[in-house]
Amino acid sequence: MPLFTSECPGRGNPAHHVQDGRFRPTVVAAYQRVVFRITDSWLTFGRWLVTDPYVVITDTGRLDPGPAVELLTSEGCGVRVLGTTDSERIAAEAADATALVVHDAEIDAGLLERLPRLRLVVTMAADACNVDLPAAERRGLWIARVPQQVAVDQVAHHALALALAQLRRAAAALPGHLPGARRPCDLTLGLYGLDPVARRLAQLAAPLFARVVGGDLAGGSWPPGVEALAPREVLAVSDVVSLHLPLTAETAGVIDAAAIAGMRDGAVLVNTGSHLLADRADLLTALHSGKLAGVATGPIPALEPHAREKCPLRSHPAVLISPHRPASPAPHTADLLVRVARNVTSWRDRGIPLDPVARPGAGHSPQELALSG
């Protein structure tokens, strides 16, 4: 006789009737469904609790990924190092990644669509400029930014080289716009913003320029040899203005038409920081009118909105765009990569990375996303 039978005599609710240890099929089926659902739910919950992130490190520039790999592995995370910035290879080999660590790789909307399990991107690029932040926010991803601690001395030398190159070019192209003998020893260098690079640049430039002035929005204390002025005064008296401001909601577009109008005629602007500190349209107008004799900047991040568009500012003969980005100093490499790994483990353990750019699904505008952090 089969264990379960469809015929079971007796009174009462047949769904609860028992005879000789035999249950009606409706009871058995319901019982099996309940057990299956409970078991499956607990397994799913258990997987959610114990599964560690699968981390794919696309590239680390010239940095050794070893410290990050060692820490993540010790924390139980699966790690794979690709060593590439190629989007096709990243899409193919990081399809199962829940966390992505990038240095120079461009993480655009198209690539994000091809990484369905991705929940976190940790970038070492300044201002997270290589990640499509609006697209990431729409997908509900966490983005963390761990900017490299670039060598202060290298950046200061870089800024000084850009300034001298533009002065030389401007003296030849627009000799009537620069006062005196058109030599640095007759000119004023203005530092707009106070950071370690500005301090080092002041030391380097002091023997070359007749005067070094500085103005900081936060009113910081300047080193000896720098004449402290209000920021607007710095613009008014300087032949060369070097920007040293972090990108925030308050500093975005700080060099606009009004600021340029207050600058000395024929001045040179040097910006080794974020391109978003200056209004591009206003810079172009000032160059066309001769108000500015030249603009010098660092490399343009590939994912900035105008990076792949035809841009009159970039092609202007008075604009110098350096292809060189100062590298991170070796002593900071281990600390940087450890911080990268800590962002992943913090996200796993606490639900939030250590250095978030913006919370997923927070409804930020693209500009707010670019400026957050």
Given a cut of 50, the residues of the chain with pLDDT beneath it are 1-25, 28, 35-36, 39-50, 178, 180-181, 302-303, 331, 363-373
Same-domain pairing of 145 and 161: no
DSSP, collapsed to helix, strand or coil, labels residue 271 as strand
Say if 8 falls within a structural domain.
no
Same-domain pairing of 27 and 61: no
Phi, psi (deg, nearest 5) at residue 36: -60, -45
Same-domain pairing of 138 and 242: no
* Res 106: pLDDT: 92
Say if 87 falls within a structural domain.
yes
Same-domain pairing of 171 and 197: yes
Same-domain pairing of 296 and 254: yes
Say if 207 falls within a structural domain.
yes
Distance of CA 258 to the CA centre of its chain: 28
Same-domain pairing of 46 and 58: no
CA 173 to each of CA 66, 169, 178: distance values in angstroms, whole numbers, following the listed order: 50, 6, 11
Q: What digits encode the pLDDT tens for the residues 130-176?
A: 888 888 988 999 999 886 655 688 889 999 999 999 998 887 765 55
What is the rounded CA–CA span in Å between residue 231 and residue 214?
A: 7
Looking up tokens 């796993």 gives 348
The C-alpha angle with vertex 81 and arms to 76 and 85, in degrees rounded to 5, equals: 140
Same-domain pairing of 159 and 298: yes
CA 182 to each of CA 70, 138, 178, 270, 307: distance values in angstroms, whole numbers, following the listed order: 55, 52, 6, 17, 33
* Res 22: pLDDT: 45
Q: Which domain holds residue 193?
A: 152-321
The number of folded domains in the chain is 3
Closest of 366, 343, 364 to residue 143, by C-alpha: 343
Say if 91 falls within a structural domain.
yes
What is the rounded CA–CA span in Å between residue 252 and residue 286?
A: 18
Q: What digits encode the pLDDT tens for the residues 311-359?
A: 777 778 888 888 766 555 554 567 888 999 999 999 999 999 998 886 5
Contacts of 1 (CB under 8 A, 6+ apart): none
Q: What is the CATH number of the domain that holds 165?
A: 3.40.50.720
Say if 4 falls within a structural domain.
no
* Res 33: pLDDT: 57
* Res 276: pLDDT: 84
The pair of three-digit structure tokens given for residue 101, joined into one six-digit string: 């660590």
Say if 199 falls within a structural domain.
yes
Same-domain pairing of 156 and 298: yes
Say if 326 falls within a structural domain.
no
What is the rounded CA–CA span in Å between residue 362 and residue 341?
A: 24
* Res 11: pLDDT: 44
Element (H, E) at 259: helix 257-261
What is the rounded CA–CA span in Å between residue 234 and residue 196?
A: 18
* Three-state secondary structure readout of 23-71: ECHHHHHHHHHHHHHHHHHHHHHHHHHHCCCEEEECCCCCCCCHHHHHH
Same-domain pairing of 76 and 218: no
Same-domain pairing of 39 and 132: no
Same-domain pairing of 158 and 219: yes
Say if 5 falls within a structural domain.
no
Same-domain pairing of 24 and 65: no
